[in-house]
Structure 1
Amino acid sequence: MVPTPADIAKFLESVHPYDSLPKAEFDCVARRFTCHAHGKAEIIYSCGEPVPGLFLVMDGGVEVTDAAGAVISQLHPRNSFGERGLMEDGFAATTARTLSDTLLLLLPSDEFRRLIAEQPLFQRFFARGRHAEPLRGDMSVQKVGDLMSSPPVTCTPQENIRNAARLMRDRRISSLGVVDDGHLVGILTIRDLSTGVLAEGLDPDTTQVSAVMTREPIGLPVEALGSDVLNLMLERHIGHLPVIDGGRLVGMVTQTDLTRFQAVSSTQIIHEIAKAQKVEELRTVTDHIPRLLVQLVGGNNRHEVVTRLITDVADAVTRRLIHLAEEILGPAPVPYVWLACGSQGRQEQTGISDQDNCVFIDDSFVESQRPWFEKLARFVSDGLHACGYVYCPGDMMATNPRWCQPVRVWRSYFQGWITTPDPMAQMLASVMFDLRPIAGSAALFADLQAETLDRASRNSIFVAHMISNSLKHAPPLGLLRGFATVRAGEHRNQIDMKHNGVIPVVDLGRVYALIARLAPANTRARLLAAQEAGVISGAGASDLVAAYDLIAEFRLRNQAAQVRAGRRPDNYLAPYEFGDLERSHLRDAFVVVRTMQSALAQRGSAPV
């Protein structure tokens, strides 16, 4: 039975984002949908063909495969598909076929594009945030949830003043939220203690908090902005503002929080690093990095800005440690350059990073000079560890004699890895292609980098092995539009946003850079340079950059939320704690990565 227009409209009322459209707009859109019946195993469109519009499954099921024939997802009623082609050049990057007898609703492409242009809700839902403009990182546009101290310290109205005062002293805070049966009923500040207790001569052992607290204090929701905090504090002459969610106290914003927020910036941190005379002083400065992460993410800065600024801090710490080491050891016996690899080398550090580094020494080096470099490596590596950049589990550090060698030895390393690309050689080459000079004579690396890229890109067997190696990290895609999460242990039902999130894109970027002999080490810069060089097609690069942006931003937002909750940030994210909209966008991003991996595997070094 063919659905009537009334049947289609009723179905659309249960599908987001159509259910949120104004009545007149909804009626107009519903009339533009047409219904199409398909038999089992029928191809709806193939890879490379024009996409006629946005498809919506009304009944039955659809399987979507990539260019290599690998299954990307299986779709069921209320799932949409085909929109990616419409967002770019109108041609499909995948193939869609029915799994059973299926009813599909089709929204013409012109109507889809009109909705994208005129309805912000549609733009956010289908465009995966590609064109979102970052906000400034100043305090006035920060969310209150990023400014507040959390979790709040509280007491009951019945608590006596002495115990409340001791609690504030022990916790080194200037206010307490007064909570009764889970709800905020007042706030007690140091000013209340001085004006309401000491000045009046009240007995702190018998006087209850309820007698002197500020009742029914003004509060703000977590969605409020920093400008709201500033305005209220100035207008009401107050220094403490509770943050309320559903009548419950979730945090407190004080003038101290605002001062601390303004003081924490990458520039200020680097300034403090440059003045440090001891490792202990450096550690005190790097303790501010989690707060810097929260501030940068809360300011809606793009992920490449956040990771660049955090990496700048690591670079500054490394250079300061090298300077302090040279003050102790004396000048280097021969020129050298200290290089970072891994996330620091790519300028992609987040709230959790180990150290990966090595040293290139001038070829005038003789073994009798090795003790100086060993002491340098040990001082710097130990200092980085003390500052939170923990030792590399794989011993990829300058303290390992293998990674502290003259340029001639490094040249032989790269030649051997390229000539004999066994699994270990591929792993080492992958790490070393991300090298970036931090301190010393950068010229020792520049010539070798250009030489190695040229030699490696001309070795088709090595390139093929690097392509194969880049496909070992798979996006966490499950069937039925789900995620492949960790099945057991501490991170059960979570996904690893490092190894299954950003690393697959990092690996793709590295291979593109190798094929085109591109110098950048940063992943996003590599993708854009690869597009410019013609290694990736315009549509492929646009999709992959957008997917990478979304995945990286999810990872950073999750880490910032962990810091705000008082936890140590990690790379694990629980996707099912997000709403359908965000979860759908994240999965779409993983689908793009999977598609680009398949395209690279199929086409080798040809443009994808």
Structure 2
Amino acid sequence: MPLDTAALARFLSAVHPYDALSEEALTALLPRFESRLYFAGDEIYSLGCDLEGLYLIHEGQVEIRDENDVPVSLLGRRNSFGERGLLRDGQSVTSARAIEDCLLVILPRDAFHALLDQEDAARRFFDRKRAAKPQKADLATSRVETLMAPAPLTCPPQTTVKEAAQIMHSRHISSVCILEGTELLGIATIRDLSGKVVGGALPFDTPIKDIMTPDPVTLSPSDIGSDVLHMMMERRIGHVPVTEAGKLVGIVTQTDLTRFQAVSSAELVSEIAHAHTAEAMAEVTARIPQLLLQLVAGGNRHEVVTRLITDIADTATRRLLALAEEQFGPPPVPYLWLACGSQGRQEQTGVSDQDNCLLIDDAVTDDQMPYFAKMAEFVCAGLDTCGYVFCPGDMMATNPRWCQPVRVWRDYFRSWINKPSPEAQMLASVMFDLRPIGGTVGLFADLQETTLEAASKNSIFVAHMLSNSLKHTPPLGLLRGFATIRSGEHKNQLDLKHNGVVPVVDLGRIYALQGKLAEANTRARLEGAMAAGVLSQTGGQDLLDAYDLIAETRLEHQAEQVKSGQAPDNYLAPADLSDFERSHLRDAFVVVKSLQSAVGHGKGMLG
């Protein structure tokens, strides 16, 4: 049913940037909007078409696909789309399709441009959205430190060519740097071995220093990718050592340049979508750390980076579901695979396990359940192969408890809400982050709506959830320092996950519960809570700023680890930060602690 003027005004007053407009400006804009209904499967617009205006979702979900017909985004209520094309030449740079029944409101093209001309808030908002688009891998703007392979293969000058060749072969590496202590004397490549040793009939015990290229040209980590490319082309070389303060820190090869330019989220999604085995997908997901490094180095915001990385996990899951159906046959009844945890919230980083479950149509019979058990085993094992390791808490569809008909799930939620035991609080916290990944989305829609309604009305359950959300606290010391981990492998470090982002995630979940918000993403929950009046504008903006700083620090830490050849984790030593960075990070933790305190003392949600 089309929206009347009053309903449209109420909706826009909770959507940025329209909530920042004066009453007169919003009133003048209302008649220009048109509401339109699209049914599941309807094409909203195609790639390259003339856009009629800016689209804003009132109800439903819309899938956006890029020029390669690869899904790049799944949008929901209060999300707008089409602005990229409108800000360029008016032609769509993507395609859009309704994946469930949708009610959209459309602002015509001329009204959209007039809004940008007349309202600073709108211009800043859409400029920011445009700037937040993921940047393509670009050698001209990428630093050498994001391209190089750290810890290159080295050997002393007395090493024989035979020994060097054996080491290079075993490591599948095409070059070796020759060091005298820490001094770089030269470099030898496969070409040197074949041309000078084999071609020149030299004995295999010839010292590597006799065939190396002495005093090779080098670059520093702060140089840019085009410097590497130009040097290789000018000097006809394929290997460039990277030195810093006279010390060898890495090497860049032609293969590294090719690999860098090939790594993009769309490319990884496309390769996974066409893979035929979990092992083939694993070869693709192994490049996720490099993607994370490039996205962070490119200046992308944390919510963009984590969304793009999560899209890869979503694609792998859907591809495994398709392969499972190919192997086991079509499902006997409809089903829905859902993710929870960081994947459910679209907040995956370089370190992620799997958390998932299966909802099955109530028409399923006992003799049909083994089909879904086999499907769950296949998909979870495939995700583990791809690097999404098995959940240590067994929150996976392979656990029969989490592979059940919808009626059982309805009973689960009803029981958790009515009898909020410690286990119920924990399970409810996990399951309130559920997000559909593959299958029949309609199986979840009614369940989510009724659960949110019942949960928000049960004051005892809400109180227990509030208490549970305060178990993870920011790492603040009694003085002005940090409360670091006291012992073990990560002694004197901060846990940026459990004591950094998780406290904000928990608060976002509580605000969503209070506001009956369907969003699972933390930032979307906080923004929605502010729009719904559950969270004050001042408290909400402070919490958003704090969350952004903590999440950005976590991603930058992981990117630094990838750059140095380490596996990314969530543990950061405060000593690795500058005084300026430590001060701001502590201020962010203080904001989170203050919001936790307000909630814990029963001051409500208005921060």
> Taking structure 2 as the reference length, what is the TM-score of the superposition?
0.75
Which amino acid in the other structure matches residue 182 of structure 2? G
Structure 1 unaligned regions, length at least 5: 1-129
**Worse overlay, 302-311 or 157-166:** 157-166
The answer to whether 1:174 aligns with 2:174 is yes
Whole-angstrom distance in 2 between the partners of 1:161 and 1:241? 20
Match of 2:537 in 1: 538
The answer to whether 1:358 aligns with 2:388 is no
Match of 2:188 in 1: 188
Q: Deviations over 1:13-43 (max 9, x none)?
A: xxxxxxxxxxxxxxxxxxxxxxxxxxxxxxx
* CA shift in 2, pair 1:236/1:543, >3 Å: farther
1:221–1:244 CA contact under 8 A, matched in 2 = yes
- Per the TM alignment, residue 384 of structure 1 is displaced from its structure 2 partner at its CA by 1.5
**Worse overlay, 366-375 or 331-340:** 366-375
1:188–1:209 CA contact under 8 A, matched in 2 = yes
Match of 1:288 in 2: 287
Match of 2:342 in 1: 343
Match of 2:555 in 1: 556
Match of 1:512 in 2: 511
1:374–1:399 CA contact under 8 A, matched in 2 = yes
- Per the TM alignment, residue 559 of structure 1 is displaced from its structure 2 partner at its CA by 2.1
Whole-angstrom distance in 2 between the partners of 1:597 and 1:606? 10
Which amino acid in the other structure matches residue 226 of structure 2? S
Whole-angstrom distance in 1 between the partners of 2:314 and 2:228? 35
1:137–1:295 CA contact under 8 A, matched in 2 = no
Which amino acid in the other structure matches residue 556 of structure 1? L
Per the alignment, in what secondary structure is the counterpart of residue 188 of structure 2?
Answer: strand
Per the alignment, in what secondary structure is the counterpart of residue 310 of structure 1?
Answer: helix
Match of 2:215 in 1: 216
Match of 2:241 in 1: 242
- Per the TM alignment, residue 497 of structure 1 is displaced from its structure 2 partner at its CA by 1.2
Which amino acid in the other structure matches residue 447 of structure 2? L
What does 1:350-429 align with in structure 2 at a 5 Å threshold? Answer: 350-429=349-428
Match of 2:258 in 1: 259
Per the alignment, in what secondary structure is the counterpart of residue 359 of structure 2?
Answer: strand
Which amino acid in the other structure matches residue 351 of structure 1? G
- Per the TM alignment, residue 604 of structure 1 is displaced from its structure 2 partner at its CA by 4.4
Per the alignment, in what secondary structure is the counterpart of residue 221 of structure 1?
Answer: coil
Structure 2 unaligned regions, length at least 5: 1-127
- Per the TM alignment, residue 458 of structure 1 is displaced from its structure 2 partner at its CA by 1.8
Per the alignment, in what secondary structure is the counterpart of residue 594 of structure 2?
Answer: helix
Whole-angstrom distance in 2 between the partners of 1:602 and 1:363? 42
Match of 1:154 in 2: 154
Q: Deviations over 1:467-492 (max 9, x none)?
A: 11111100011133211111111111
- Per the TM alignment, residue 603 of structure 1 is displaced from its structure 2 partner at its CA by 4.4
Q: Deviations over 1:117-173 (max 9, x none)?
A: xxxxxxxxxxxxx99x77834232222112101111112233333333333223222
**Worse overlay, 233-242 or 388-397:** 233-242
What does 1:34-113 align with in structure 2 at a 5 Å threshold? Answer: none
Q: Deviations over 1:32-57 (max 9, x none)?
A: xxxxxxxxxxxxxxxxxxxxxxxxxx
Per the alignment, in what secondary structure is the counterpart of residue 331 of structure 1?
Answer: coil
- Per the TM alignment, residue 197 of structure 1 is displaced from its structure 2 partner at its CA by 4.3
Per the alignment, in what secondary structure is the counterpart of residue 139 of structure 1?
Answer: coil
Match of 1:100 in 2: none
2:137–2:260 CA contact under 8 A, matched in 1 = no
Whole-angstrom distance in 2 between the partners of 1:209 and 1:353? 43
**Worse overlay, 288-297 or 357-366:** 288-297
Which amino acid in the other structure matches residue 246 of structure 2? G
Whole-angstrom distance in 1 between the partners of 2:311 and 2:135? 19
Whole-angstrom distance in 2 between the partners of 1:395 and 1:181? 50
- Per the TM alignment, residue 331 of structure 1 is displaced from its structure 2 partner at its CA by 1.3
- Per the TM alignment, residue 446 of structure 1 is displaced from its structure 2 partner at its CA by 0.9
The answer to whether 1:144 aligns with 2:144 is yes
- Higher-Rg structure is 1
What does 1:478-517 align with in structure 2 at a 5 Å threshold? Answer: 478-517=477-516
- Per the TM alignment, residue 258 of structure 1 is displaced from its structure 2 partner at its CA by 0.7
1:137–1:301 CA contact under 8 A, matched in 2 = no
**Worse overlay, 220-229 or 307-316:** 220-229
Per the alignment, in what secondary structure is the counterpart of residue 253 of structure 1?
Answer: strand
- Per the TM alignment, residue 513 of structure 1 is displaced from its structure 2 partner at its CA by 0.7
Q: Deviations over 1:510-547 (max 9, x none)?
A: 01111111111011111111121122222222221121
**Worse overlay, 456-465 or 291-300:** 291-300
Whole-angstrom distance in 2 between the partners of 1:539 and 1:196? 70
Which amino acid in the other structure matches residue 312 of structure 2? V
Which amino acid in the other structure matches residue 247 of structure 1? G
1:515–1:605 CA contact under 8 A, matched in 2 = no
The answer to whether 1:469 aligns with 2:468 is yes
Which amino acid in the other structure matches residue 348 of structure 2? Q
Which amino acid in the other structure matches residue 280 of structure 1? E
Per the alignment, in what secondary structure is the counterpart of residue 504 of structure 1?
Answer: helix
2:362–2:407 CA contact under 8 A, matched in 1 = yes
Which amino acid in the other structure matches residue 164 of structure 1? A
Aligned residues: 478
Whole-angstrom distance in 2 between the partners of 1:183 and 1:137? 36
2:536–2:605 CA contact under 8 A, matched in 1 = no
**Worse overlay, 431-440 or 259-268:** 259-268
Match of 2:324 in 1: 325
- Per the TM alignment, residue 296 of structure 1 is displaced from its structure 2 partner at its CA by 2.2
Match of 1:595 in 2: 594
Whole-angstrom distance in 2 between the partners of 1:359 and 1:138? 37
Whole-angstrom distance in 2 between the partners of 1:590 and 1:227? 40
Whole-angstrom distance in 1 between the partners of 2:412 and 2:364? 17
Match of 1:316 in 2: 315
- Per the TM alignment, residue 231 of structure 1 is displaced from its structure 2 partner at its CA by 3.0
2:269–2:312 CA contact under 8 A, matched in 1 = yes
Whole-angstrom distance in 1 between the partners of 2:292 and 2:522? 20
Per the alignment, in what secondary structure is the counterpart of residue 474 of structure 1?
Answer: coil
Q: Deviations over 1:265-307 (max 9, x none)?
A: 2222222222222222222222222222222223222211111
> Taking structure 1 as the reference length, what is the TM-score of the superposition?
0.75
Whole-angstrom distance in 2 between the partners of 1:230 and 1:366? 62
- Per the TM alignment, residue 440 of structure 1 is displaced from its structure 2 partner at its CA by 0.6
Whole-angstrom distance in 2 between the partners of 1:543 and 1:149? 39
Work out the percentage of aligned pairs sharing the same amino acid.
62
Q: Deviations over 1:391-423 (max 9, x none)?
A: 211111112222111112211211121122221
- Per the TM alignment, residue 584 of structure 1 is displaced from its structure 2 partner at its CA by 1.6
1:346–1:434 CA contact under 8 A, matched in 2 = yes
Per the alignment, in what secondary structure is the counterpart of residue 256 of structure 2?
Answer: helix
- Per the TM alignment, residue 194 of structure 1 is displaced from its structure 2 partner at its CA by 4.4
2:559–2:568 CA contact under 8 A, matched in 1 = yes
The CA RMSD over aligned residues, in Å, is 2.2
Q: Deviations over 1:44-95 (max 9, x none)?
A: xxxxxxxxxxxxxxxxxxxxxxxxxxxxxxxxxxxxxxxxxxxxxxxxxxxx
Q: Deviations over 1:301-334 (max 9, x none)?
A: 2211111111111111111111111112211111
- Per the TM alignment, residue 198 of structure 1 is displaced from its structure 2 partner at its CA by 4.6
Per the alignment, in what secondary structure is the counterpart of residue 347 of structure 1?
Answer: coil
Whole-angstrom distance in 2 between the partners of 1:228 and 1:547? 37
1:467–1:604 CA contact under 8 A, matched in 2 = no
